[in-house]
Structure 1
Amino acid sequence: MNFIALDFETANRERSSVCSIGIVEYDNEEIVQEYYRLVQPKNNYFAPINIQVHGITPEDVADADTFDILWEREIKQMVEGKLVVAHNAPFDIGVLRAVLDAYQLPYPMLAYNCTVNIAKKTWDLPKYKLNVVADHLGFAFHHHHALEDAKASAFILLEAKKELGAVNLKDLIEKTGTTNGMIFDGGYEPARINKRKKARKSTGHTFAAATKEINHNHPYAGCTIAFTGRLNGLKRQDAVEQIKRAGAVWHPQIESTTNYVVVGSKTYDNYLNGEKTTKLERAEQLLSQGASIEILPETVFMNELNKNATV
């Protein structure tokens, strides 16, 4: 799968006010190039609310190039003729169009898709913000840093491909019922999502909760459980069905009433090395405030769950 993941940060409410750009290029699902630049917007005006979001100030970009210079020198050749993905692509592609218009530069020819749309067709989540989806998948990153956000968007795309058993990008787009958008010299076509089409996942064994009675004697009975990170042993929905049969309650978010946070194996290894998902940060915050939350690696949790399955 060859594609570009792109993210912009802006200085104020004007979409043309680019103050940073992050690009990550993938070839055969491997990163071949990372690109990050601070950008000096026109008039170098930064709204306080934007600074609060990304932390970039006028002083940070005082010596940075303007977008038109970077576009002609570096960016155009990276994106032209490529498939570009972004999380909330209407915003990022809108920023690209706006800043090109501001400098009276022609649009490149490129196709694009939105990982918000792809995520909606792949996972059942309460929200589909970048940090929420990334946290669900156990991807730790610095939110609102353009390169980090671009990497997160790319990760979501690749994880959706795995989840749905897609063989390539074309197959993923077909399975999710999404449609690529286009921009070209003189115009654009928006990326779309077929709301009535459900994602077609690869067939496999799933657990039917309705065929099992709830085990009210299970050690997890009555507990509230949340997950973070990708589980190795089984799909997230299957894990949810298992804990329901154990008499436990699944919550998509970490709350003060949460009893256990179950962490996928890879995410738990990262956690031991100091990398924390949003949910793990929230759990630690609640722990510091006196909440009774236990953070468990997936293996420990699943062993206990399966050991007591027939109690």
Structure 2
Amino acid sequence: MSDFMTKKYDVLAIDFETATNNNYSACSVAVALIKNLEIIDSHYWLIQPPHNRYSAANTAVHGLSSSDTRDALQFPDIWPELQTLIRSSAFVSAHNAQFDMSVLHEVLHYYQLPIEDFSYFDSINYSTKACAGERIPSGLKERCQRFNIIIEEHHNAFSDALACGKLIIAATKEKNKASSLEYLNAYSTVTSKKFSELKASKFFKKPSTSTANFNRVDLNQINAIQENSQLSHPDFSEKSFVFTGEFKKAKDELMQAVVERGGIIKSAVSGKTDYVVEGVQDLSIVGADGFSSKQRKARELIAKGSSLTLLTEKQLEELL
């Protein structure tokens, strides 16, 4: 890349968070700027998504809600500054770049802003080369643990952008390369791509969430460990909920209903969890017992005396 040495930054590591599963719904973005294997600058923006609308499922991941972005700038207002930083960087990178690049593409398209070209690479592939053969999971948290990088607040755009930048630096040093350009040139399996050639995803959807083609376990046919006969419209204020599996009704609608009743949505089961709402599980993913890891954890806690309550979708709707 002929202009690598002339650019102000070698790599711009970027992370987006979205308000809904629509990839144009960016609600925060952060960048960490690398030069000579050091992070020399960083930026963070809160963004008011279209109509300032959030899904409870996304809020459960990153903690942002409409109250956080009520007075925030919209994407067209922050784009000139972000665009300048991208133009000033030889490469852009993100962890699971397909997602972040799709968010950028879709939000530019939504606001009818010009789409410029640049080179980007995925820090998953990039870091894989530095720990080849170790079978380290591809998640940002797991990769950072491998290189002793601390993520201050996972799924906070600023923390994740910094972690991505540090991961790129650590991987480059691990292979004794002087720069990301030298690293990319050295390994044919680690390549950069053009933003103009991106096949952007319009929605964020985990592959495992499809219910069309997998064998199902219906929890209504499994003997419950805990009877819920005494449940009758309890107060959900400050009660923590964890959802697992697929539901007849949209999961984010169920979560939103819980939040409107004062409940708090969490992503993992712990000793502080009050309710676990169980849906249909994908047999290709869960264990031989038909339970997800969240379900097994919940049952372990109940067996140890926890007051945690298991709910089916039908039971939750009756309570709501």
TM tier, smaller: 0.5 to 0.7
Deviations 1:191-214 (A, max 9, x none): xxxxxxxxxxxxxxxxxxxxxxxx
Distance 1:175 1:53 in 2: 36
Deviations 1:246-272 (A, max 9, x none): xxxxxxxxxxxxxxxxxxxxxxxxxxx
Letter aligned with residue 129 of structure 1: G
Choose which of 172, 178, 194 in structure 1 pairs with 2:190.
178
1:27 aligns with 2:35: yes
Match of 1:151 in 2: 162
Match of 2:259 in 1: none
Match of 2:174 in 1: 163
1:11 aligns with 2:40: no
CA deviation after TM superposition for structure 1 residue 169, in Å:
1.6
Distance 2:88 2:148 in 1: 32
Alignment of 1:127-138 (within 5 A): 127-138=137-148
Match of 1:119 in 2: 127
Structure 1 residue runs without a partner (length 5+):
191-288, 290-311
Match of 2:83 in 1: 76
Alignment of 1:1-311 (within 5 A): 2-72=10-80, 74-80=81-87, 82=89, 83-123=91-131, 124-141=134-151, 142-176=153-187, 177-183=189-195, 187-189=196-198
Normalized against structure 1, the TM-score is what? Answer: 0.57
- In structure 2, the residue corresponding to 1:170 is in which secondary structure? helix
Structure 2 residue runs without a partner (length 5+):
1-8, 200-303, 305-320
CA deviation after TM superposition for structure 1 residue 120, in Å:
1.9
CA RMSD in angstroms, aligned pairs only: 1.7
Normalized against structure 2, the TM-score is what? Answer: 0.56
Deviations 1:71-90 (A, max 9, x none): 03x11111125211110011
- How many positions carry a matched residue from both structures? 187
CA deviation after TM superposition for structure 1 residue 96, in Å:
0.3
Distance 2:58 2:42 in 1: 24
Structure 1 residues 162 and 30, CA gap change in structure 2 (3 angstroms): closer
The share of aligned pairs that are identical, in percent, is 30
Letter aligned with residue 103 of structure 2: V
- In structure 2, the residue corresponding to 1:179 is in which secondary structure? coil
Letter aligned with residue 147 of structure 2: L
Distance 2:181 2:136 in 1: 27
Letter aligned with residue 48 of structure 1: A
Distance 2:160 2:125 in 1: 16
CA deviation after TM superposition for structure 1 residue 57, in Å:
0.6
Check conservation: 1:81, 1:110, Cα contact below 8 A: no
- In structure 1, the residue corresponding to 2:28 is in which secondary structure? strand
Deviations 1:142-184 (A, max 9, x none): 100101101111111111111111222222113332111112x
Which runs of structure 1 show a deviation greater than 6 angstroms over 4 or more consecutive aligned residues? none
Check conservation: 2:54, 2:66, Cα contact below 8 A: yes
Distance 1:119 1:66 in 2: 33
More relative contact order, 1 or 2 (CA 8 Å, 6+ apart): 2
Match of 1:267 in 2: none
